[in-house]
């Protein structure tokens, strides 16, 4: 779905925006962040797929409940007064939410203050469940919502879901973000949130500015705004923060790069969850990977240890199942090895399989890869390993957003994707349910494999109320994925960020679903630094 938000298309010089902001926020610091992509894809949280898009969504929007900033293991009420308990009404599971009072949407110039109502929340969830307007619509199947009062609304979930599955759907993640669609003076669609920062159009090619939302319901942000700079080159980002042109940058998961920060006394490195898992997804609908022998040949040619070398020791950890072992249903190395599904590197066997598939001489394929270092490293390593069985990958480097767009149009027969999903159902549904098949699915998401072999298992697991059985079903689903070599699990890695020691995020960081340290109303920089003059 094309982006109808005019914000990113705007070309107004950033200096003008900064000047306007400076008049308003003369006393408060603006945090400068160097990000690893060259542009954003969308400001619509329901379509945010890349890390950068998720970062923006986190700052602009709220959910009914939220993962605690810096600690995604804990949930707490956000827009809602409290986290409700499910109630069975006429055989159907219902969840009733009551909204807090005095929550205001971000206020743009010339517009009146607009407070949040249950109707706004309801409309947002209708949008999230609409495959035409949301990338996460598949997650809301069987869920309906009605307004029951000015600040109350009720979800009906049929078949019932466990809190583990349902609550993330109404949290500050993916379709759970509450967004209000309005039209500006020029008749253009504008998306508004209730978060601590909001977007001031237009950005330029170098950076994007977010303004503090003074009527933020948790309190006026300590920061005047967040200035996000596009710096895809890791060395440039490092130079920028060393030169005090940045306050926070996205780090590079690479030992040599990190070594360069070691001696910088005013810089701090934060490594935290959630961990993103990298898997190799084979397109099982088209030759040559429609042949299981070819997929297995590729799997036997891959050595996941070699992938770790490009990152350096200790930063990245191998995984042996698509869902990482720290999540429910994730399988451990010893278990996968005991079942003989680890596909330990065996070139001879790989060649034999290729020969059996009639591809003794191999084949060639074109593949796009992201400018983001971890992606490009992985693709280059894979290229080298597949070359041993005569599979030639022609790599094409593109910006991160372009890569996301192209791989969703089946450009790559093999996709290496880094992702985190809040729960196993979300993970399996988004990557392996037929409804999430890219370009052809009912709610296209990230089923790059065009696979439908575990649809039933995903569905019955989703409906299973006994957690232990649910987990076991997820495990069997993954065993089937591995048995049919739909996906080859590579590794998972933590988020790496570098900040100046004057930056205080306002919370400790253990893990964040937003894939960045999270800037909230409490985030600040030491006084008299980087204030706009």
For another protein, the closer CB: 5 or 481: 481
Q: Tokens for 87?
A: 């109630």
The nearest distance, CB 340 to another protein, in angstroms, is 7
Which lies closer to another protein via its Cβ, residue 185 or residue 332? Answer: 332
Q: Which tokens sit at 385?
A: 């390993």
Instruction: Give min distance, CB of 487 to another protein, in A.
Output: 15
Judged by CB under 8 A, which of 39, 480, 507, 522 binds another protein?
480
Cβ closer to another protein: 88 or 466? Answer: 466
Rounded CA-CA distance 125/143 in Å is 10
Token pair recorded at residue 198:
């909001």
Q: Which of 217, 194, 198 is nearest to 62 (CA)?
A: 194
Q: Toward another protein, which CB reaches closer, 104 or 476? A: 476
Distance between CA atoms of 163 and 115, rounded to whole angstroms?
A: 29
Q: Binders of another protein: how many residues, by CB under 8 A?
A: 17
Q: Tell me how crowded residue 354 is: count the other CB atoms within 10 A of its CB.
A: 26
Does 467 engage in binding with another protein (CB under 8 A)?
A: no
Query: CA-CA distances (angstroms) from residue 332 to 181, 318, 323, 343?
Result: 44, 10, 10, 14
> Binding another protein by CB under 8 A: which of 469, 501, 504, 526?
469
Q: Which is nearer to another protein, 339 or 387 (CB)?
A: 339
Nearer to another protein, 59 or 461 (CB): 461
Distance CA(129)–CA(154), nearest Å, equals 15
Residue 455 engages another protein in binding (rule: CB under 8 A): no
- Tell whether the torsion through CA atoms of 57, 58, 62 and 64 is positive or negative: positive
Site string for another protein, 333-372 (x = CB under 8 A): --x--xxxx-------------------------------
Least CB distance from residue 331 to another protein, whole Å?
9
Determine which residue in the list 57, 482, 487, 515 makes contact with another protein, applying CB under 8 A: 482
Please choose, out of 170-178, 193-201, 332-340, 423-431, the segment that lies near another protein by the rule CB under 8 A.
332-340
The whole-angstrom separation of Cα 189 and Cα 191 is: 7
Q: Exactly one of 17, 171, 403, 473 binds another protein (CB under 8 A); which one?
A: 473
DSSP tag of 106: -
- Does 472 sit near another protein (CB under 8 A)? yes
170, 238, 298, 479: residue in contact with another protein (rule CB under 8 A): 479
CA 352 to chain centre: 38
Report the candidate in 298, 341, 296, 297 with the shortest Cα–Cα distance to residue 319.
341
The helix (H) or strand (E) run that includes residue 471 is helix 467-483
Region from 62-70, 313-321, 389-397, 471-479 binding another protein, contact rule CB under 8 A: 471-479
Binding segment (CB under 8 A) for another protein, from list 14-22, 50-58, 68-76, 476-484: 476-484
Token pair for 295: 């997929």
Q: Give the range of 138-146, 355-363, 440-448, 477-485 binding another protein by CB under 8 A.
A: 477-485
8 vs 460, beta carbon nearer another protein: 460
**Minimal distance, residue 491 CB to another protein, in Å:** 22
Among 326, 363, 411, 476, binds another protein (CB under 8 A): 476
Q: At what angle do helices 467-483 and 424-432 cross, to 10 degrees?
A: 30
Burial class (CB in 10 A: 0-12, 13-18, 19+), 518: buried
514: its two tokens? 């937003």
Stretch that binds another protein, among 148-156, 178-186, 465-473, 485-493 (CB under 8 A): 465-473
Phi, psi of 427 (to 5 degrees): -60, -55
Q: Which is nearer to another protein, 173 or 300 (CB)?
A: 300
In the bound complex, what is the minimum distance in angstroms from residue 341's beta carbon to another protein? Answer: 6
Check residue 144 and report its DSSP letter. Answer: E
Helices (H) and strands (E) in the chain, counts: 15, 21
**Coil vs helix vs strand at 492:** strand
DSSP secondary structure letter of residue 169: G
Binding segment for another protein (CB under 8 A), chosen from 73-81, 241-249, 357-365, 456-464, is 456-464
| Coil, strand or helix at 261 | coil
Choice between 252 and 342, CB closer to another protein? 342
Residue 473 Cβ, how far from another protein at the closest point, in Å?
6
CB 333 to another protein: min, Å: 13
In 3-state terms the chain splits into helix, strand, coil percentages (rounded to 5) of 30, 25, 45
Query: What is the chain's length?
Result: 533
d(CA 308, CA 471): 28
Of the candidate spans 13-21, 76-84, 233-241, 475-483, the one that interacts with another protein by CB under 8 A turns out to be 475-483
Instruction: Evaluate whether 434 touches 449 at the Cβ level (below 8 Å).
Output: no
Which residues are at the interface with another protein (CB under 8 A)?
335, 338-341, 456-457, 460, 469, 472-473, 475-476, 479-480, 482-483
């Amino acid at each position: 779905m094309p982006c109808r938000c005019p914000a990113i298309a705007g070309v107004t010089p950033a200096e003008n925006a900064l000047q306007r902001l400076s008049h308003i926020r003369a006393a408060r610091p603006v945090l400068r962040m160097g990000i690893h992509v060259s542009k954003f894809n969308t400001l619509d949280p329901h379509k945010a797929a890349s890390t950068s898009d998720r970062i923006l969504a986190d700052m602009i929007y709220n959910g009914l409940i939220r993962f605690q900033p810096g600690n995604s293991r804990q949930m707490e009420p956000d827009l809602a007064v409290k986290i409700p308990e499910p109630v069975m009404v006429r055989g159907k599971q219902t969840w009733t939410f009551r909204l807090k009072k005095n929550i205001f949407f971000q206020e743009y110039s010339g517009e009146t203050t607009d407070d949040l109502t249950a109707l706004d929340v309801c409309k947002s969830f209708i949008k999230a469940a609409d495959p035409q307007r949301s990338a996460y619509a598949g997650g809301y199947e069987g869920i309906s919502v009605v307004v029951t009062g000015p600040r109350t609304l009720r979800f009906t979930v049929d078949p019932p879901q466990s809190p583990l599955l349902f609550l993330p759907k109404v949290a500050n993640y993916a379709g759970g973000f509450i967004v209000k669609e309005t039209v500006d003076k020029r008749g253009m669609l504008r998306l508004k949130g209730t978060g601590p920062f909001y977007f001031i159009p237009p950005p330029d090619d170098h950076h994007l500015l977010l303004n503090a939302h003074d009527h933020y319901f948790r309190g006026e942000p300590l920061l005047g705004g967040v200035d996000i700079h596009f710096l895809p080159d890791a060395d440039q980002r490092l130079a920028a923060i060393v030169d005090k042109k940045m306050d926070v940058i996205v780090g590079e998961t690479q030992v040599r790069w990190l070594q360069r920060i070691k001696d910088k006394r005013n810089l701090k490195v934060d490594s935290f969850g959630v961990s993103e898992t990298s898997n190799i997804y084979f397109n099982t609908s088209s030759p040559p990977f429609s042949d299981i022998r070819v997929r297995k040949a590729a799997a036997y040619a891959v050595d996941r240890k070699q992938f770790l070398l490009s990152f350096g020791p200790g930063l990245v950890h191998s995984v042996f199942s698509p869902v990482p072992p720290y999540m429910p249903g994730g399988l451990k190395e010893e278990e996968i090895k005991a079942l003989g599904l680890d596909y330990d590197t065996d070139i001879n066997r790989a060649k034999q399989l290729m020969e059996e598939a009639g591809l003794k001489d191999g084949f060639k394929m074109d593949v796009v890869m992201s400018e983001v270092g971890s992606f490009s490293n992985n693709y280059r390593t894979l290229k080298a390993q597949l070359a041993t069985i005569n599979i030639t990958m022609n790599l094409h480097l593109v910006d991160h957003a372009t890569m996301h767009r192209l791989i969703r149009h089946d450009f790559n027969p093999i996709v290496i994707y880094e992702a985190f999903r809040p729960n196993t159902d979300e993970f399996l549904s988004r990557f392996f349910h037929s409804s999430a098949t890219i370009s052809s699915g009912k709610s296209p998401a990230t089923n790059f494999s065009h696979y439908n072999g575990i649809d039933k298992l995903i569905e019955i697991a989703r409906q299973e109320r006994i957690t232990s059985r649910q987990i076991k079903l997820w495990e069997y689903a993954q065993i089937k994925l591995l048995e049919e070599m739909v996906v080859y699990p590579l590794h998972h890695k933590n988020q790496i960020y570098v900040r100046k020691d004057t930056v205080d995020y306002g919370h400790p960081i253990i893990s964040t679903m937003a894939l960045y340290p999270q800037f909230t109303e409490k985030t600040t920089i030491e006084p008299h630094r980087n204030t706009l003059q």
